[in-house]
């Protein structure tokens, strides 16, 4: 449960900073011309995936050997299913929203395509770890 909570906090932080960077003034209109923001977003993802790697190392360490059982496998499968469904719903809502907003102009700024790609990784990680945390919490309450 602790690994799931830390994972959720890590990716929520990445998502918060990404949202601030993406929606800052001029980003959407000038996405391809702003190398600093592109590097900043890449650094965020290095931070996120690097944090994932460190969390896995910490929780796989022999000193912190955690015994996994059927409950862990069940929770993992359920949280992956919820994460998958959440990402499908997310993509549908974002795509329909962008279509509706830019329908009259005939084109969607390329920054939104990048937004979908980056945010999809964040949504998948956050919903997976959130659902896993909820399932662990519910199983401990029983």
pLDDT, tens digit (0-9, with 9 covering 90-100), for 109-119: 888 988 999 99
Whether 68 shows a pLDDT value over 80: the answer reads: no
Average pLDDT over residues 45-50: 93
Burial class, 34, CB count within 10 angstroms (exposed 0-12 / middle 13-18 / buried 19+): middle
The angle formed by the CA atoms of residues 76, 140 and 81, to the nearest 5 degrees, is: 20
What is the pLDDT, as a whole number, of residue 66?
Answer: 63
Q: What are phi and psi of 124, to 5 degrees?
A: -60, -45
Whether 140 shows a pLDDT value over 80: the answer reads: no
Whether 34 shows a pLDDT value over 90: the answer reads: no
- Give the percent of the chain with pLDDT over 90: 45
Q: What is the pLDDT of residues 36-46, one digit of tens each?
A: 888 888 899 99
CB 112 within 8 A of CB 28: yes
């Amino acid at each position: 449960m602790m690994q799931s909570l830390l994972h959720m906090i890590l990716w929520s932080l990445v998502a918060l900073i990404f949202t601030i960077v993406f929606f800052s003034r001029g980003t959407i209109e000038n996405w391809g011309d702003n190398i600093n923001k592109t590097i900043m977003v890449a650094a965020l993802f290095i931070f996120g995936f690097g944090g994932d790697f460190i969390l896995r190392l910490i929780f796989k360490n022999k000193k912190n050997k955690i015994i996994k059982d059927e409950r862990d496998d069940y929770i993992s499968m359920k949280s992956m299913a919820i994460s998958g469904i959440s990402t499908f719903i997310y993509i549908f809502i974002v795509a329909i929203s962008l279509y509706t907003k830019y329908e009259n102009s005939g084109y969607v700024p390329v920054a939104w395509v990048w937004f979908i790609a980056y945010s999809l990784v964040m949504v998948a990680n956050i919903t997976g770890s959130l659902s896993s945390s909820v399932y662990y919490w519910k199983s401990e309450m029983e």
